[in-house]
A = this chain, B = another copy of it.
């Protein structure tokens, strides 16, 4: 028996809004550890990884591991029937060919339950290597969304160039070219911060970031990579999940676009860069 109750149902709604356009069908893996999903988009260019840890739920019970194959569009339809301030409970028995979504409003005078048939989806469970990235950029998720949206009105791809002090987004198209450069917010603070980070671990770093640190760059090696804006714009639907987005880049590796979900986990999107030689093939 699997049962997971999340007080703030809007989180689950937002998560599905952010991935349902990318992936049509996917297996949710329910374990004692949490509620997780990994799936490639239908064109096999991008990958989404969701983790909602069991500790982040209001109530969580998972007697044995369950795989729930769902059509994300249908799941999203049902979640849309929940109010943003509803509590959402997901349930499946071990036989597990049906999932139940239960919505309760805060006053508990309206209770809805929605049943959806589960599907058999065979997927190769893609192990994602835990790489060290050459560049890590943390910035306002709103700003990142704005940049991706703005640039897609000019071109189809964006080249992201990360240096020690800035991240530059570049595109070009029929009507012209565009460069958007975001400087790392404060050089002095950053150096100090880095020292502290090494001493005290990630925590100081995070605290600093939330204190008006707009762009935060952690660089081993300058990186320049090109991506399809179409996918980045899709990823940006997760913007409302988190104030900040983290981009991780390494030469010839997929970018990782991560939105943290407070106290619960994350949504991560992976997108392979365009290889220059392949540009002709992609168009």
A residues lining the B interface (CB < 8 Å): 71, 74, 77-78, 80-81, 107-117, 143, 150-151, 153-154, 175-183, 185, 214-215
Complex alpha-carbon distance, A77 and B182, angstroms: 21
> Contact: A114 with B71, CB < 8 Å?
no
* Complex-state Cα separation, A162 to B185, whole angstroms: 58
The contact of A116 among B71, B175, B215, by CB within 8 Å, is B175
Number of identical protomers: 2
The interface residues of chain B lying within 8 Å CB-to-CB of A175 are 71, 74, 77-78, 116-117
Q: Are B154 and A77 in contact (CB under 8 A)?
A: yes
A25 → chain B closest CB, angstroms:
13
B143–A182 CB distance below 8 A: no
Bound CA span A182–B179, Å: 50
Q: In whole angstroms, how far apart are the Cα atoms of A276 and B116 in the complex?
A: 24
CB distance from A10 to the nearest CB of B (A): 16
Pairwise interchain contact A109-B176, C-beta atoms closer than 8 A: no
Is A154 within 8 A of B114, CB to CB?
A: yes
Complex Cα distance, B98 from A178, in Å, reads 13
Instruction: Give which listed residue, B108, B153, B177, contacts A77 with CB less than 8 A.
Output: B153
Asked if A117 and B176 sit within 8 Å, CB to CB, the answer is yes
